[in-house]
Structure 1
Amino acid sequence: MASETRAPDVDRRRPRVVVIDDERPIRDSLSLILEGEGYAVRTAGSAEDGIALLDAERADLVILDVRLPGMNGLEALREIAGRDEQTDVIMISGHATLSDAVEATRLGAFDFLQKPLNRDRVLITVRNALERVQLQYEMERLRRDSPSRFQMIGRAPVMQQLYREIEKVAPSKARVLITGENGSGKELIARSVHEHSARRDGPFVKVNCAAIPKDLIESELFGYERGAFSGAVARKRGHFEVAHGGTIFLDEIGDMALSAQAKVLRVLQTGEFMRVGGERTMTVDVRVLSATNKDLKTEVEKGEFREDLYFRLNVVPLRSPSLRERVEDIPMLVEAFIAETCEENGFRRKQLDPNVLELLERYH
């Protein structure tokens, strides 16, 4: 793989993951799992070889074994963290101690996974780490650029109405339910609400409810204590706890299991929850935004979604317009995407053939 400068948006290319482990079966297994999910994977059998890989081509994420020949994993973690603060590291080990987990966390590891590795847990952890990388890039771009007020592009009447609704609801504490088709910009709306609220300096934590297996959703949302289940070698905070003082965005909330819906309802009612395996009640201060491409009223009628949770989430409804409703925005969107792609990849500014633009405007 040729070396290249990292683009500031990992969603526009295959995220790069480097696996460093002295056991070939582990390297091969992780490569198979991650490449099957669309990640670009490079592997190394030692910390020294792994760091050489990172020097040659930057990565978005490193999966690093604690016990390695020569330089051990914790030493390598310290080295990697010192070189690139934007590369997250997930530590793995079959012989982990609590002190290892604590030290790895202190050095900045994103998470610590116990061998034998669970495929779903690996994929969830990798996805969460890469979402944090993406958020870091987006925050950098916000600081660097002077973009439109709501980080959205569009002058169509439906967009102007949406801007007014965001401007009205953002300063309040009200929960917002965002509906719309996939790809219509629901996450951008949620981020705009957060950025224009009193919580703008607090965290914005996105949770893709559809991507988390049912047996992991509670530990992801609420965290877990050490020993709560096999592989839980250290306490981990959940998404609600991480979002304290800020906003949590529950994307694709319509796909959340009923058992988890009950736990979320309790947080909305009381602001309290318990970590998985825990006995202490935790209190959080978060604003909850949610989104779905489903008709939740229909889901309630089918018994797939709790009616009481629906009413608590749907305090202020916002709808994300489809591109069919804003065809006049297509030229502006295309121009912005081309300019951004050219800038990120070091290309000269490209012009779109007018015939292609006409085809795009007719295709809806």
Structure 2
Amino acid sequence: MTSFFPSRTVSLYMGRMFLVRTFGILAGLVLVLQALDLLGESGKILAAQGNGDAQVWYYVTLRAPQIIARFLPFSVLLGTILTLITMNQNSEVIALKGAGMSAHQVLAPLIVASMGVAVLSFAFNDRVVPRATATLNRWQKVDYGPMPVDRGDRTNVWVRSGPDLIEVDTINGRGNAAELGGITVYDRQGGALRAIITAPRGRRAGDGWAVAPAQRFDVASGKISQIGEMVIARGVTPDQFTLASVDADELSFGALREAIGDLKAAGRPTKALEGSLWHKLSGPLSSVLMPLLGAVAAFGIARSGKLFVRAVIGMALGFAYFVADNFALAMGNLGAYPPFLAAWAPFLLFLFIGETVLLRTEE
């Protein structure tokens, strides 16, 4: 097994060079992109009453994880190309080839190091990014003002009951124990609004929801009447309120899998969320693909003048993968691709392309 790798010294040398360049590029990208993002958002943050430098830095702590998660695979690609170009220019690749090593053996230390990056990326994307994204989304909904205490409640949920539309400000609890707060019912008939019913609270009652104290505004007469307790939304199940808004970016892998299970049990469509669930695995694993796509920069004689062209080809292959990955995920969200295919097809396709290019050019 160890014969597949170069010597321990060479492997550690290549792995260290690769990791230093990868995370150095990532740090530079995060600094630049975060600064550009602040140019557009700092004014909105400071416009909220009572906000100052502390809130700007708080925004940075919430936005930076999203930038890191998005651009870590780009950094792995650029780190791979920079590492292999340096080794090519110093004739280190030629020395390894002269020792009888194949192209795959030369790349083996980088692939192992990229596996470590993929594991780190998955852990970071699963533990840090969803929490930061959920908090930032809630903060942006209140225009960077004071945020309400997060007790796990759902907010601003819309459901449909026949021709009527129901808006609920907050929902807490699950199943038949769910409680509604700030209910507004838009009573419609034939596409025309007949009345607006409002109530501060509601609870499950039989096959509907008892809301009280309710008042009704009649559109035709313009009169408001107090009607006490009434039952609305018959046939609307609790999951239609509690699972009305599931954002895959705000959930960890385990939480998203549970949400998909609840939606399936309720007979709700889950194809788009299933694609996002698979992508939580294939996304970090794309780091393992980058050394293979960037390997074209390692081989060939540097003095031939084609090293720059090879580097450009490696970057083009890498960026083409990211374009294909985003396209497939979008098609999966629209239902045009099956979830598994939307998440894994670009990875498998470019794995085949990378292997083909490597074998054709070197092996």
Larger Rg: 2
Query: 1 or 2 for the larger relative contact order (CA 8 Å, sep ≥6)?
Result: 2
* TM-score after normalising by structure 2: 0.24
- TM-score, normalization: structure 1? 0.24
